[in-house]
Each structure stands twice: as structure tokens, then as C-alpha cells.
Chain A
Amino acid sequence: MSRPVLNMLRISRLPIYTQLHLEEALLRGTKDNWLIINDGAFNPAIVVGISGRPPELIQCNEALQYGIQVIRRFTGGGTVVVDHDTVFCTLIMQGSLLPHVECFPQPIMAWTERLYRPAFAAAGCPDFALRENDYVIASGQKVGGNAQAITGRRWLHHTSFLWDFDADRMGLLRQPGKAPKYRQGRSHFDFVTRLRDVLPSSGSRQRLVDAIVDAAANVADIDVQERTLADAAAALRQPQLLLGTKLLDLREFLRSGEGLLR
């Protein structure tokens, strides 16, 4: 009997807006399992979660002046700033592939830790862990944002690992109203860290990506098969597929007076 297939797509510099559309189409329009790694976004963007209110999360005036793209995604969670130094990893799974993992947020996140922890160890970071729903290293600094969408017995979990980030762009984010306890009131720059500062230099970024692929092949009894962007993009041709990812115009929030929040 053949093993279940995990389709693997390795790409780089795909625009995050396109990636999110593709992910949602694969989640809602297919029953296939996917691991998608996009090594770097084509252009910088701020991405808010499904219920995120930009005036509370973004310095709207400054972001408009900066000219950065702002996107609302279809998954939960907080706000991230992404660019060419963000490594995106997305898992799209049929629940039956992992029958011991209940299709609820905590079991799914716990399972992803089992995948990412050995991958980070293989890349030179042995103290990667999940803490209060965030991925951190031993110093309690966050190394990436993660979020999920769950639809019946099918789920998507995506992560934006911060290989590096631009301080000016990170400064466009406001301190969120709700923060995990382990943040302890730290500023954004004390709370998050660059993976390039954590992993041994020279080739570590590629090693990390390779290690994630290897870890995925070992975490379940599956057959990993490489696919192309064209293979994945076939999902976007599904008829009547309503996708939740949208571009946001911050001027609308300023016009309504919401963006004047200080």
C-alpha cells in the first residue's frame, strides 16, 4: 500500500500576497498535503491577521509615507513585517494524515514543534522551542510569527522565520495590545531576534531550509514529492473559490479617523 504524499514546493522571492492566495486555494480547494518553503518575499509587506485592525497595529501615517504594501491574511494571529530576508514555511495537512493530532490550535502547534526543533538543531540551533504559541530560542527571543487556519479536518499552519529584518520597517508596527507573558514588556527589538545572529554563519540559511525539508520527511510516514509552482497554482483555477486574503488601503482608515490613534 502506498504511503500518503506530502507535496513539496521550494521557491524563492514569491510575493507574499501571491503566496497567501496560493496557500488558501490549496487549503480550501484541494485535499492534498503540502509543505511550501518560500525563501524570501519579492517585496516588503506588513501582513495582519484575519481580525487585525490596522490603526491598532500599524503606524498608519508612517506606513503610508513609507509606501509599504499592507495585506490582511486569512489566518489568525498577529502582525508581521516581511521582506526578502523572511523564510516562509507552510504546512497544509489533511487531518487523516496525522490521526493523533486533533484539528485544534494547540495540538497542531505542538506537532509543528516536533518538526522544527530537530530542523533547527541540525542547522546549528539546539534550543529552539515553542513557548506560549511562539517559536523562540533559549534567550526567550522570538524568531518568527506563526498562524493557522482550520477548516473541518484540514488545517494550514504557516510561519515567517526572521532570517533578518529591517529596523525601520519593524518600527512601523505598534506594540500590540495583547502580548504573551514571556514578552515581559520588552520592546519589539528586544523581543525578536534575527536568525542570522543565532545560527552559525556561512550557508546556515540554506542549511536551515534543507533541514526543514529533511525533518518533514521524517516526522510522519509520508512520501515527499517535489512539485513546481505550476503544479500548485492549478488550485487557483478552482471555480467559485472565495479567498480571504486582501490588500488594505491604509488611507481608508485615516479617512474614517481611525488611523489617528496615537
Chain B
Amino acid sequence: MALRVFGTFALGKLGLQAQVMQAAGVTAAYAYSTVVQGYKYAKSHEWAKVHGDTATVGISDHAQSQLGDVVFVELPDVGKVVKQGETFGVVESVKAASDVYSPVSGEVVEVNQALVDKPGTVNTSPFEEGWIIKVKLSNKGELAALLDADAYAAECEKH
């Protein structure tokens, strides 16, 4: 029941985003949340989009819909070294402080300062404007351990 409620909430919030995503030709859908092709996903619901030696990182639509309204994002410092599978920050929503885990290893080269004033962007645009950090990759081989969009969608449907 709870998942269905949040699915409806997510669809409502994502109406505009779905149009953007379809225009980019990258949308896959499962159950009630959006999964974007071309991104890599961790089972802990973070995504990585690779551009050359850098990856942009955020949390998935499934995660933002389950977390509820995001009211605060604790960002790491630029220059911090992150490791795949280890926590790099915190997202606060609905009285919960939830750790977020880096899907890649490397050095943080940029953080999304816009989230300081508008943390809700993580809800409204989890795959675009709601990105959290950018990482200069130290081991591109680790990307093989992540899931593609279809595998991640299947993982989420287990719950």
C-alpha cells in the first residue's frame, strides 16, 4: 500500500520530467518510478552518469519517491575522496536522515550548491537538476559492478 501511494506521488511530481526524458529518448518505466537508460545504478538507489573520466551522481526516482520531500542535503567537500559503496553524504526527508552511498570511487570535483537552497530539486528532477556530486573517477573498472537501467528496474520490482 505504501509503495502504491508513493508511486502516485512520484508520477504526479514527474509529469514534466517524463516529457523531458522522453524528448531525450531515454525513458524506461517500471511500476511507478522512472528509470533512465544510459545511467548506471547501485542497489542502494544511487545513479552514476559517466562523461569521460568524470561521473555525475544522484539518487534514483525510486529513492526520492520513497524518501518523501527532501528538506536538506548534506554535501561533501570538493576534494573529498569517495569510495564505491561508502557513504558520502546525507539526505534528510520526513524526519529521516538517510545516508547516500557513492556508486563510484574517485575525487569529488563539484557539488550541487543549488541543493543548499532548493533541496526539493532532488524530488522534482532526480536525474537532471537534482544531481548531488561530480566525481573524477579513479577506477572506471568499478562501473561493471553497477546495474544498467533494466537490471535496476528489476531490482526495484522485487520490493
Contacts and interface: CB of A to CB of B under 8 A. Distances in A.
A106 B94 contact: yes
A75 B2 contact: no
Interface string B80-119: 0000000100101111111101000000000000000000
Name the interface size band of chain B.
20 to 34
B87 A105 contact: no
Interface of B: 2-3, 6, 44, 66-68, 71-72, 74, 87, 90, 92-99, 101, 159
Contacts of A105: 66-68, 93-96, 98
B97 A76 contact: yes
Interface string A95-129: 00000001011111110000000000000000000
Interface string A69-81: 0000011111000
Contacts, number: 77
A50 B95 contact: no
Contacts of B71: 51, 76, 178
A131 B93 CA distance: 16
Contact of A151 (B6, B67, B87, B159): B87
Given A51-B92, A110-B2, A104 B97 contact: no
A59 interface: no
B105 to A, nearest CB: 17
Contacts of A106: 2, 6, 66, 68, 94
Nearest to A145: B95
Interface of A: 49-51, 74-78, 102, 104-110, 133, 146-152, 178
A250 B45 CA distance: 37
A183 B146 CA distance: 44
A110 B101 CA distance: 25
Contacts of A178: 71
B98 A150 contact: yes
Contact of A104 (B66, B72, B74, B99): B66
